[in-house]
Chain A
């Protein structure tokens, strides 16, 4: 029986570039920006790092394949560098690689760095890209908003929710994230909005309007991890450790078998259940203090609150409208602005979520710092489409908790 990852690895340094339309920065500039912060935070030398993982997603318009771009950008001393890609959940995959390397004893100190340079396509939204030879011959010509928008149709049908009521709850989610993003100097979108603006915005993919969609950003984020023992030896106190790292990947049941109704993420339910088990959490609504969810679209965040077993099934609308997930609510969700406003440089996003947990748990989150320092935080990093996706759920916490 596997013992799980709980408390085997501590985070000793993190960094995150400013996210946004970084017209004046190349991908390697963004990597260096995140890395310099993390290295200073960890207080180690570059050559103490034994292995590195690079996450990028859309290499067609980016740095290309392999670990070379990271090794080059940082001039890493011929250490192992692995590039990982798992749709929009790539960032957490780099983190998982580094954490597992340390937990296995294969590395003392490992680096996970995610980066994405998206704003070189000439148009808004995610880049058009190949879906594979066979997939492109029969799959729907879907965009990200178009695939996630379908959650709304299926959710309404399942729970008998009125179109306007659901749209209002979705608007609350976006307004909340803009409020949070406004307090975050590294966020891509820092403007406050209101419900009216959301509801009157142009339609992207029904029922998702412009403000139901997250930002498409350039950026990088990174983590340096080691064992708690080495961390202490390095003089670190109040350690932040990894409590759970889970990943569930669709195997085609949602896409091909009629047992899934389209209103939820089958993977998120499974990954979160496993993560709570791994972290030893039995009542997530009481024990999780902070959530960074993969809010690529407002409807994704709403549905995910149920799939993470925080809101009861069909109950997320009420929790959202009650302010349960607001920055001053019971469990703030996207207190840093989330994908919605911090931005979504794909390969970096999973690491950006962990970055916020790390800052909040150390009381270093500035204007947006939660009054009561969180003990357990959950990051949910999703890639793909509701009917076919990879979903990682990680739990980060205070080592002494």
Chain B
């Protein structure tokens, strides 16, 4: 039996109040008021699809034997790199084995589900980690800006005691262009909503859902969870009804708490569904985009035994309201703000150094002295322990998952950061090792010496001149 053996989720903790967006933009576009309720998730300035995918993967792999992962697929329409293997960066950050099949899947809102269907075929060869993440950029004052959110999901696929059995899939492809983003375009170009709803969703999705039910022999009345990303009011219910799926099976599209997370959203909703499902529940996932995918799962007895994790529900519960729309515009480079002269330094990356130090920089791998046992970051030729100083004695020692505490810190208003003040300080890892490192996601009133921290894979800086995103690890409040 092949299926999902573990899952994880990530939604950035910042939640932008839609009211703040509408209040700023309704003068130009009063129709935005229709979307002015609740909040959408919003990446911090140092988060993108890749960092979110890594966080979801870490959540997914907690308690799993990650050294057994044979394949890594990553789906997104907002990869930080058009030509650099994004799944390869994620693999380094996750410290996966070098023997690894990797694949980036893109170019459609169905990338998540179509990729997942392909992944189930590949997973026969061994455990496969499937990541999906999106951080879609919409024009300021557009409806998309309000409807979309940022987020990621991760699924571990395999045959070893799945929590949800994969029962089959059915897809149809048709070049229905509701929106598109050309190779050289920054933003999507979107056609009329009524046409997308009536001629697109309402006509393209139902035959695919029915096709899946027919192909798998499942009784629509038995579907307990209908996972279908769709922001048109009541349309999911209408589609479910048409297929004979009980209306109450229609899953919350998370519009009120998160917004639609692009190609990741079907999987984001699936993870949330798995967090609610009982053994035996049938879960039908459908996803629209130049055609439609539908996948069927059955939750197993292993589901309640899966070790605790954040999943999507935990990530959504961990929220920080953000009422400042200007900050959202600045973080997403939607406004030409004055960053100050200190932001003008050259940010070129020496790719040869990055490669030489990739375990350290992408994997947060330090050293452990095989003579005295002292752990340290970074790994060096000479052991840092003044009573040892052994030469060439260091074995790899990964720090990413070791809890840490603040030894000293500051909130710096002089140094350049997109989100002042810049919090940073010395963190000390449980069991030894320390690092003077940038912090992120800090709440001023909770920061002090001894505060518990965890390490997170984040953007160190962005080299706008060369389009290169530099990643490293930061300490975030645990």
Q: Residues of A with Cβ closer than 8 Å to B? A: 121-123, 125, 128-130, 133-134, 137-143, 145-147, 149-151, 153-154, 156-157, 202-206, 208, 252-253, 255-259, 261-262, 385, 387
Most-contacted residue by chain A among B354, B376, B424 (CB, 10 A):
B424
Partner of B434, one of A138, A150, A205, A255: A255
Are B436 and A142 closer than 8 Å at their CB atoms?
Answer: yes
Chain A residue numbers with a CB within 8 Å of B407 are 154, 261-262
Given contacts A128-B416, A137-B353, A156-B449, contact A258 B433 (CB under 8 A): yes
26 contacts between A and B (CB under 8 A): A123-B341, A125-B414, A128-B345, A129-B345, A137-B470, A138-B437, A139-B436, A140-B425, A143-B412, A143-B415, A145-B410, A145-B412, A146-B410, A149-B410, A153-B408, A153-B425, A154-B408, A252-B380, A256-B376, A256-B433, A257-B374, A257-B384, A261-B407, A262-B408, A262-B426, A387-B426
Are A141 and B374 closer than 8 Å at their CB atoms?
Answer: no
Chain B residue numbers with a CB within 8 Å of A122 are 341
Given contacts A154-B408, A205-B414, A258-B432, contact A142 B342 (CB under 8 A): no
Are A206 and B410 closer than 8 Å at their CB atoms?
Answer: yes
Closest to B360 in A: A138
CA A34 to CA B221, docked complex, whole Å: 92
Chain A CB within 8 A of B450 CB: yes
Chain A residue numbers with a CB within 8 Å of B449 are 153-154, 156-157
Are B384 and A252 closer than 8 Å at their CB atoms?
Answer: yes
Chain B residue numbers with a CB within 8 Å of A208 are 410
Chain B 357-383 near chain A by CB (<8 Å), digits 1 or 0: 100110000000000001011101000
Are B472 and A138 closer than 8 Å at their CB atoms?
Answer: yes
The count of chain B contact residues (Cβ–Cβ below 8 Å) is: 51
Are B350 and A258 closer than 8 Å at their CB atoms?
Answer: no
Are A259 and B386 closer than 8 Å at their CB atoms?
Answer: yes
Closest to B340 in A: A123
Closest to B424 in A: A140
Chain A residue numbers with a CB within 8 Å of B461 are 141
Are A141 and B411 closer than 8 Å at their CB atoms?
Answer: no
Give B375-434 interface residues, CB cut-off 8 Å to A.
376-378, 380, 384-386, 407-417, 421-422, 424-426, 428, 432-434
Chain A residue numbers with a CB within 8 Å of B350 are 133
Chain B residue numbers with a CB within 8 Å of A153 are 408-410, 425, 448-449
Closest to B437 in A: A140
Are A128 and B412 closer than 8 Å at their CB atoms?
Answer: no
Chain B 442-472 near chain A by CB (<8 Å), digits 1 or 0: 0000001110000000001100000000101
Partner of A142, one of B341, B349, B415: B415
Are A146 and B424 closer than 8 Å at their CB atoms?
Answer: yes
Are B384 and A137 closer than 8 Å at their CB atoms?
Answer: no
CA A142 to CA B374, docked complex, whole Å: 27
Partner of B408, one of A121, A145, A151: A151
Closest to B377 in A: A256
Instruction: Name the prevailing secondary structure of the B interface residues.
Output: mixed
Chain A residue numbers with a CB within 8 Å of B413 are 202-205
Chain A residue numbers with a CB within 8 Å of B470 are 137
CA A128 to CA B340, docked complex, whole Å: 12
Given contacts A123-B342, A141-B417, A387-B436, contact A146 B422 (CB under 8 A): yes
Chain B residue numbers with a CB within 8 Å of A128 are 341-342, 344-345, 416
Chain A residue numbers with a CB within 8 Å of B433 are 256, 258
Partner of A256, one of B357, B412, B434, B450: B434
Given contacts A142-B424, A153-B449, contact A133 B353 (CB under 8 A): yes
CA A121 to CA B341, docked complex, whole Å: 9
Are A205 and B385 closer than 8 Å at their CB atoms?
Answer: no
Are A140 and B438 closer than 8 Å at their CB atoms?
Answer: yes
- Closest chain B CB from A100 CB (angstroms): 28
Are A205 and B411 closer than 8 Å at their CB atoms?
Answer: yes
- Closest chain B CB from A65 CB (angstroms): 18
Chain A residue numbers with a CB within 8 Å of B434 are 255-258
Given contacts A150-B425, A256-B434, contact A137 B472 (CB under 8 A): yes
Given contacts A206-B421, A257-B384, contact A146 B415 (CB under 8 A): yes
Most-contacted residue by chain A among B349, B357, B411 (CB, 10 A):
B411
